[in-house]
Amino acid sequence: MYTIPEVLATIETNQWVMICTVIGWIGGSVQFLEAIRLTWRDKVIGLPLGYVFAIVAHDSNVALNHDLWFNTVHHWYFETTWYMYPFWVLVEITVIIWFVRLARAEVAPHLPAPAFYAICAAFQIMAFILFHFTESLIADPLGIVGLAISQIVNVVFMIPLLLRRRSTRGQSRILGWAILLGPGSIGLLQSAAMVPALRTPLYYAMVACMTALSIGYLILLEYYRQREKAALVGT
């Protein structure tokens, strides 16, 4: 799909790499921090467990490959972004431990705690296996396609979470807009900016679909917000 020298040369000449990277990181960081705030406030998880399992599988892979980024690749872009990954992996692991307990109380209070935790552990292990299996199928030495995959699973799980609750608990406009402007659209273009082979109609169609889903999530969130306001007025 690509070679490392090709990607490094593209980063040096394509300004969209940095634009999409900065916007993607800001959007993703705001999303995660806002979800933590909402979880603390509402006592329900602000991000779906499926997404958190997927993102920690990707981020830990980047964080643990220090030798690749600093000795093999040895490029300022990957060395700079690497420093953010160990921090976020620690945050994500903490969030998983916290969220799993809250999720059980919300979706499976009837299930014994050991059984629910075992199921979650199996999903996390499966996320690690699937991520590395996918990488083994394609020529992706820098994990650029894996980055796109880790962002795709974002909104895919957010909409079902909102539909199941039928309320805005654990959700907010800030969270929705951070997803839309970050990993739900512009963040996905980061991979295409670095790898010309990804600049295909199918890839851009995928980005368009994810953007539509992100907008759909915001519309659905507004629907529940208005319904909750009407209920308050009615009382």
Q: Are 74 and 81 in contact (CB under 8 A)?
A: no
Give the whole-angstrom CA distance, residue 221 versus residue 204.
26
Which DSSP helix (H) or strand (E) runs through 74? none
Q: Which residues make Cβ contacts (< 8 Å) with residue 33, sequence separation at least 6?
A: none
Give 35-68 pLDDT, tens digit per residue: 999 999 999 999 999 999 999 999 999 999 999 9
- Calculate Rg over the CA atoms of the chain: 19
- Give the pLDDT band (50/70/90) at residue 2: confident
Give the whole-angstrom CA distance, residue 235 versus residue 230.
9
Q: What is the pTM of this model?
A: 0.91
Comparing C-alpha atoms, which of 203, 167, 168, 169 is closest to residue 185?
Answer: 203
Q: Where exactly are the structural domains of the chain?
A: 4-230
Give 185-206 pLDDT, tens digit per residue: 999 999 999 999 999 999 999 9
